[in-house]
């Protein structure tokens, strides 16, 4: 687990909201940094602390990991507490998208005393469906010269943007997807992305009924898992 950076003064954590972020498949910390740095977030950013996490092997220009080195989503979630202990943070609000939302939900279930609440975007709490597994089996991850293949890119784009791909109403659609693919190709080790995808496909059910704190679930009508 890699702590990339925190935004805000951690010594002020008793006076500010502390958000712990985990990214989705095909992304790393930049996805949340871009979000937090938007002008509409300026007031929240000034009153909060953001701790951005990269799952193993997803920091910029990381070396390829062995398959045996990549943990399950359950272990990823349980081990987030070690980051909080290392930087001496007592409580956080989990903020995650997609696979990262699943990881944060597992963190909250394993360490409820350290999590004040969850904001989960496009989170799925069930095991992989037959349809999802079937689609994943046809993804070829080996592209030319070590780059991600077209089928792998298509898989990650659909996971990220879902049925928005078929919508003509979003003027920023092409720009957002181009930025996503540019960073995927240039910054992230795609062999490690495949390991994260495999961990996501082998996920277990989330027993969220056992979680007693507040959860805000955000899912668009065109999201993949709707």
> What is the extent of the structural domain holding 26?
1-225
Q: What is the pTM of this model?
A: 0.88
Tens digits of residue pLDDT in 83-127? 999 999 999 999 999 999 999 999 999 999 999 999 999 998 888
pLDDT at site 82? 94
Mean predicted confidence (pLDDT) in 5-31:
88
How many separate domains does the chain show?
1
Which has the closest alpha carbon to 125: 22, 199, 225? 225
pLDDT at 143 over 60: no
Cα–Cα distance measured from residue 157 to residue 140, given in angstroms and rounded to the nearest whole number:
14
| Predicted pLDDT of residue 146 | 52
- In tens, the pLDDT along 56-71 reads 999 988 999 998 889 9
CATH at residue 187: 3.40.50.1820
Mean pLDDT of the 176-198 span: 88
Distances (CA, A) of 180 to 20, 83, 110, 114, 175: 22, 27, 32, 32, 9
- Highest average pLDDT, of 28-37, 96-105, 127-136, 156-165, comes from 96-105
pLDDT at position 129: 81
């Amino acid at each position: 687990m890699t702590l990339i950076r925190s935004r805000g003064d951690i010594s002020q954590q008793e006076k500010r909201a502390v958000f712990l972020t985990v990214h989705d498949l095909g992304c790393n910390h930049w996805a949340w940094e871009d979000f937090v740095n938007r002008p509409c977030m300026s007031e929240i950013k000034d009153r909060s602390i953001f701790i951005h996490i990269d799952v193993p092997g997803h920091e910029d220009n990381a070396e390829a990991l062995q398959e045996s080195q990549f943990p399950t989503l359950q272990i990823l979630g349980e081990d987030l507490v070690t980051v909080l202990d290392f930087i001496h943070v007592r409580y956080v609000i989990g903020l995650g998208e997609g696979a990262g939302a699943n990881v944060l939900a597992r963190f909250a279930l394993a360490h409820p005393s350290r999590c004040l609440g969850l904001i989960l975007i496009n989170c799925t709490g069930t095991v992989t469906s037959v349809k999802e597994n079937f689609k994943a089996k046809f993804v070829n991850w080996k592209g030319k010269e070590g780059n991600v293949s077209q089928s792998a890119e298509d898989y990650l784009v659909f996971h990220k943007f879902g049925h928005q791909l078929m919508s003509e109403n979003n003027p920023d659609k092409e720009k957002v997807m181009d930025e996503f693919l540019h960073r995927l190709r240039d910054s992230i080790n795609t062999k490690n992305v495949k390991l994260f995808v495999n961990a996501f496909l082998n996920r277990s059910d989330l027993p969220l009924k056992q979680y007693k704190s507040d959860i805000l679930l955000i899912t668009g009508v065109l999201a993949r898992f709707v």
